[in-house]
Amino acid sequence: MLTQTLHTAIIPTLDTPIANLDPLDFHLPASLEADRPPEAKNMARDDVRLMVSYRASDRVEHTAFRNLAEFLDPGDVVVINTSGTLKAALEVTRSDGTPLELHLSTRLPAELWIVEVRRPDETATKPFHGAVPGETLSLPGNATATLHTPYRSDQRHDKDEPIRLWIATLDLSEPVISYLDRYGKPIRYGYVPREWPLEYYQTVYATEPGSAEMPSAGRAFTPEVITRLISRGVHVVPLILHTGVASLEDHEPPYEEYYRVPLDTARQINLAAASGNRVIAVGTTVVRALETVVDKNGIVHPGEGWTHLVITPNRPLRAVNALLTGLHEPKATHLSMLEALAGRSHLETTYTEALEERYLWHEFGDLHLILP
């Protein structure tokens, strides 16, 4: 029986402390960092490459993403995150006139925000560690952001490390989404040397703005790909998880993110699992949302709130058995989630393959479908 659940606790708890995790490490050549959307190379979104791997045999196949439906079966369920990307980067100024950039990460209860302060760099921005508690930053349009306290300072691995994430409040002249539409721009990192319009950071199925950064595992979907899936008898069901900034540094505690899993989505997933079909999460954001609302018997419940769940190899996945994901940076905490699904050996095999085949990393890059 399905029950409505509400998860609002926002204190991260881990089976394995962040400091003790050992995510996969490897060398990522700069030439494999996707520096522009495929459309800028006269490609369609679904022309990016797709690596398909099978956990049981370590078999790996290579294809184009537009062929995704060929690898799924009638009755399988593909779960997508329909959160839309915000223009979450704002130009700000300190009281001494120093220009900086503020990245809005996660909207918390009581109108609080997790934010990141960054400084301009040659191509994009880098973390700025000189901010102080109580500091008020000037925003465009006579607005302000006040930094109240370092984020999760009580859970920092090294108390002497510089502060990067803050709890803040915003004093704006209009609702936050319309304000960001007027004054903001998409968050961009140094491997993307120029700015791109927001449309390049939106999935085709986005319905509700709220993510600081694009849930990028779904970027390659096109109406044609979705039509092929449905025609094959694959169910495509939505949920919401508003993503925060993706640039977590080593050993930083995870931050909470808002999610909402609808009743019908939970039902479709449970029916697929009971029938022996596969449940394919599109992105780590979908995994985090579903694993928040699944019980110990593997039953997914509808619910909403702020999840603090962190998936590690010590915490088995209960809601999903397949994953479509981008390629993650060396030692990224998302790799611990992939290891929880696929195991370290399979992860090493597939990432070696991706490097040898020169797959492209990051939000504009290629994709990896991990199947049982």
For the stretch 242-292, pLDDT in tens is: 999 975 544 555 678 999 999 999 999 999 999 999 999 999 999 999 999
Residue with the larger pLDDT of the pair 180 and 308:
180
How many independent structural domains does the chain possess? 2
Q: Is the pLDDT confidence value at 352 over 60?
A: yes
pLDDT of residue 24: 81
Residue that wins the pLDDT comparison between 331 and 75: 75
pLDDT of residue 2: 46
Model confidence pLDDT, tens digit, residues 154-183? 554 555 677 889 999 999 989 999 999 999
Q: Between the CA atoms of 147, 148, 150 and 154, what dihedral angle is there, to the nearest 10 degrees?
A: -170
**CATH number reported for the structural domain that contains residue 340 in this entry:** 3.40.1780.10
Q: Of 183, 217, 241, which residue sits at a domain end?
A: 183
Q: Note whether 214 and 342 are same-domain residues.
A: yes
Q: Are 201 and 324 members of one domain? A: yes
Residue of higher predicted confidence among 157 and 136: 136
Q: Provide the Cα torsion 157, 161, 164, 168; round to 10°.
A: 80
Last residue of a domain, one of 151, 183, 215: 183
Q: Alpha helices of the chain — where are they, by DSSP H? A: 176-183, 223-231, 263-274, 284-293, 334-342, 344-356
126 lies in the same domain as 212: no
Asked if the model's pLDDT at residue 303 lies above 50, the reply is: yes
CB 101 within 8 A of CB 92: yes
DSSP 3-state of 62: strand
Strand-pair category, 143-150 with 165-171: antiparallel
CA distance 145 to 27: 38
Together in a domain, 286 and 199: yes
Residue 240 has pLDDT above 50, yes or no: yes
With a CB cutoff of 8 Å and minimum separation 6, the contacts of 126 are 118, 119, 190
Structure confidence at residue 246 (pLDDT) = 76
Report the CATH number that the domain containing residue 169 is assigned in CATH. 2.40.10
pLDDT digits over 4-51, tens only?
Answer: 444 333 333 333 344 445 668 889 999 999 999 999 999 999 999 999
* pTM for the predicted model, two decimal places: 0.90
Contact (CB, 8 A) for 280 and 50: no
pLDDT at 106 over 50: yes
Beta strands 83-85; 208-211: pairing state? parallel
Confidence at residue 153, expressed as pLDDT on a 0 to 100 scale: 57
367 pLDDT above the threshold of 90: yes
Reading the block at residue 341, the tokens are: 């699904």
Q: In this structure, is residue 189 part of a structural domain? A: no
Which tens digit of pLDDT belongs to each residue from 38-88? 999 999 999 999 999 999 999 999 999 999 999 999 999 999 999 999 999
Residue 3 has pLDDT above 60, yes or no: no
Instruction: Scan for tokens 């593997």, then name that residue.
Output: 298
Residue 215 shares a structural domain with residue 345: yes
- Residue 190 resides in a domain: no
pLDDT of residue 357: 96
Range of the domain at 355: 5-85+195-371
- Give the containing element (helix H, strand E) for 337: helix 334-342
User: What pLDDT is stored for residue 18 in this prediction?
Assistant: 42
- pLDDT tens-digit readout, 193-227: 999 999 999 999 999 999 999 999 999 999 999 99
| Strand partners of residue 33 | 361
Residue 188 maps to a domain: no
Task: Give the per-residue pLDDT at 247.
Answer: 59
Specify whether 58 is located in the same domain as 175: no
Which one of 129, 151, 183 terminates a domain?
183
204 and 174, same domain (yes or no): no
In terms of domains, do 67 and 141 share one?
no
172 and 310 belong to one structural domain: no
Question: What local confidence, expressed as pLDDT, does residue 310 receive?
Answer: 87
Distances (CA, A) of 67 to 37, 63, 228, 252: 19, 7, 9, 37
Q: Which residue has the tokens 């040659």?
A: 122
Virtual CA dihedral for 244, 254, 296, 282, nearest 10 degrees? 40
Residue 265 and residue 337 share a domain:
yes
* Same structural domain, 212 and 261: yes
